[in-house]
Structures are given as structure tokens and as C-alpha cells.
Structure 1
């Protein structure tokens, strides 16, 4: 048997470059796996959680809903902004100066009703004075119509 000793000479510079490129290749592979591999699983888990958890239990579909009120030949809108579980704002839109002058209790009545709705998050059990009873009932009816549009049907099933 003849055994010849082989001597391999490596330059330190080549070893360092090879180690760096190998580390970068492994890092790049890990990044690709995280971005493309588990991303689909995570998004599927998130959509399952959101669809079975908060979306089905939410009272409202988030958005801006309007209901139109007609008084004589004048019309204006009651706008209701809702999030999943709460009413965030109620306002009058397209209320002309003429209508505001003809029905001066409209805005104060809405402010009073809206503040109670923000606290209670319902239109039931509202308290309003006798001087603006009919105006308040008209506004509550319009708010209820807008909330009916916003209602999440899957939450009641």
C-alpha cells in the first residue's frame, strides 16, 4: 500500500468568504421560508379566528350608514358611524339653512339623543323633553333605520 500524503493549502481569505456566503445563503433560505411558507398558514389562522371570533360576534358591520328624513319638501340625512361593537358618531347631513330655520330643535335634539346613545350604545330608554318629543322620535326612528342597515346578521344567528 502506498500512501501519499496530500497537503491542501487554503488561504484564510477564501475560507472567510466561503463561510460568509454560506451564512448568507442560509439566512436567505430562512427569510424565504418565513415569508412564503408560513405566511399562508398564519393568514389562514388569522382569517379563521377573525371570522369565527370577532366578526360573527360583532353587532354591526363597520361603516357609515345613512337614513333620509323628509319634512315637507325638504330632505336631509341622519348619518351613523359604527364600529364592530359600538356607535361612534351620529350627525345630520344635507341639512339646509332653510330646514334648520324651520325646525330649530333638530340639531339640539340630535345632540341630546346622540350623547345618550354614545353612553348606552342603544336607542332604547332614551330620555327627551316634551318640547322636542316629536323631533326626537323622528330622529330616533331615522337612527334605528340606519342601525338596521349596519346590523350584522351573522351575529344574531
Structure 2
């Protein structure tokens, strides 16, 4: 028998480095599989459905200065029909001239089917639009229940 036994001497540092690199390689392989294969299957293939409402007219009140303004949102089961304000006092229209034009712009977009989070408005009426959008959201929350 001419075989010679060989003794391999490994230092502990080399074993630890090898284990760390094997673990990192396995982790990278798992992340690669997750990023390119499993992630696509997790996405829903169903399109986002339109919000459903209880048909009716829902009101929300906004206080502008000392004057309350009533905002009325009319909805069908899955569509916003109109957004109007109760007849405004002349002092409100004088103090807030952008209110009516901003409401008309927002109402046109929402009745055309634009989601409330994607409504665009002019930078000059940013504050007015944010107040109106918050009030419309509150009315639509009432309609969703």
C-alpha cells in the first residue's frame, strides 16, 4: 500500500472566512431569485377598481374666516356627479375670490373620473385647493360608509 496520508492544517480564521463567504453567496442568490421571479408573482393582476359609494348628496362644512360654507358632493354608486357650494354670501366671495374658480376646476376633474389624489391645481390657488380637497375627501368618506 503505497498511499500516504496527508494532513491538512486549516486555521480557524480561514474556516470563518469561508463560512461568511458561503452565507453571503447564498444570500445574494436568494435576493436575485426574489427580485426577478417571486416579486412579479406577488403583484395583483386585477386592475384597481373604482371606489364605490352609497348614492346620494353628502355635505361638509368649511369655515372661512367667520363664515361657514357648505360643500355638497353628489355621487352615484361609482361616480362623482357634481360638487357645489351652498349659495355663498357676497362677503365670502369678496374675501376668497379663488374659491369658486378653484371649485369649478376641481369639480370638472373629479366628475371626469380623475382620482382625488391625482387632482391638479394652479400654484396660485394651492391653499384654497387643499381646503376644498380635504372637505371633498371628508364628504366622500361619508359616502363610502
Measured against the shorter chain, the TM-score band is 0.5 to 0.7
**5+ residue gaps, structure 1:** 1-56, 153-157
Aligned counterparts of 1:59 and 1:110: Cα–Cα separation in 2? 23
2:77 corresponds to 1:84: yes
2:144 corresponds to 1:151: yes
**5+ residue gaps, structure 2:** 1-49
Q: Which residue of 2 aligns with 1:114?
A: 107
Higher helix share: 1
CA RMSD of aligned residues (A): 1.6
Aligned counterparts of 2:132 and 2:108: Cα–Cα separation in 1? 13
Q: Could you tell me whether the CA contact under 8 Å between 1:87 and 1:121 is conserved in 2? A: no
Specify the structure having the higher radius of gyration (Cα): 1
Aligned counterparts of 2:129 and 2:58: Cα–Cα separation in 1? 19
Count matched residues: 96
